[in-house]
Amino acid sequence: MNKIYEDLSSRFTLSDYHQQRDNLAFVTVEKAQLVSAITYMRDYLKFTHLVLMTSVDWLEQGKFQLTYLLHNYELHVNFGLKVMLDRDNAVMDTIHHLWGHARVYQRELHEMFGIDFPGSPGVNEPMILESWQGPPPMRRDFDTKKYSEETFDHRPRQHVEPEDYLRQNLYPED
């Protein structure tokens, strides 16, 4: 693990290295270097398997965290490369030329988070949310509860909180 990290850090600007387990580590890469870093890992470090691509919305910091999780079948280790994107201008370089299924991940990320991957085939096509009108729904500022309350009818609740109920009945004036 450390060897991989040292090799990578000699070539790329890395930060926040964190080894979670013997076979799992995460590191943050500069946005501009991601594609070259991930290509280097695939072609020279034998991280040939793209496990998943996902995004974490750090709304408070105004950032999207993109995680690319890679796997090395010889060492049986996972390595996660992370990139921080500005939430306001969420554009990332595509990696669909490296892995066929990256195209699908990028399409989903575009749809769910509104992160654009220019050049990725079909990235603008709706995948799951055909005819969806609202903002990208996986963004944290999209409130699913509010949406469902506005959109759907609910069976009204009759719930009473025990503490309030006791207060009303036993000591309303205190």
Q: Is 99 in the site for other proteins (CB under 8 A)?
A: yes
Q: Is 3 in the site for other proteins (CB under 8 A)?
A: no
Q: Are 17 and 5 in contact (CB under 8 A)?
A: yes
Pair type for strands 24-29 and 49-58: unpaired
Q: Is 44 in the site for other proteins (CB under 8 A)?
A: no
- Among 69, 85, 90, 92, the residue binding other proteins under the rule CB under 8 A is 69
Q: Is 73 in the site for other proteins (CB under 8 A)?
A: yes
Residue 152 or 156 having the CB closest to other proteins: 156
- Among 89, 144, 150, 152, the residue binding other proteins under the rule CB under 8 A is 144
Q: Is 90 in the site for other proteins (CB under 8 A)?
A: no
Q: Is 137 in the site for other proteins (CB under 8 A)?
A: yes
Q: Are 68 and 40 in contact (CB under 8 A)?
A: no
Residue 68 beta carbon to other proteins: minimum distance, rounded to whole angstroms: 11
Distance CA 174, CA 168 (A): 10
Q: Is 172 in the site for other proteins (CB under 8 A)?
A: no
Distances (CA, A) of 56 to 48, 67, 92, 111: 24, 8, 14, 14
> Helices 2-11 and 34-43 meet at what angle, rounded to 10?
130
Q: Are 60 and 34 in contact (CB under 8 A)?
A: no
Q: Is 24 in the site for other proteins (CB under 8 A)?
A: yes
Q: Is 151 in the site for other proteins (CB under 8 A)?
A: no
Residue 100 has which token pair? 């066929």
Q: Is the dihedral of CA 37, 42, 45, 47 positive or negative?
A: positive
Residue ranges in contact with other proteins by CB under 8 A: 18, 20-21, 23-24, 26, 48-52, 54, 56-57, 65, 67, 69, 73, 76, 78, 80, 99-101, 103-105, 126-130, 137-138, 140, 144-145, 155-163, 165-167, 169-171, 173-174
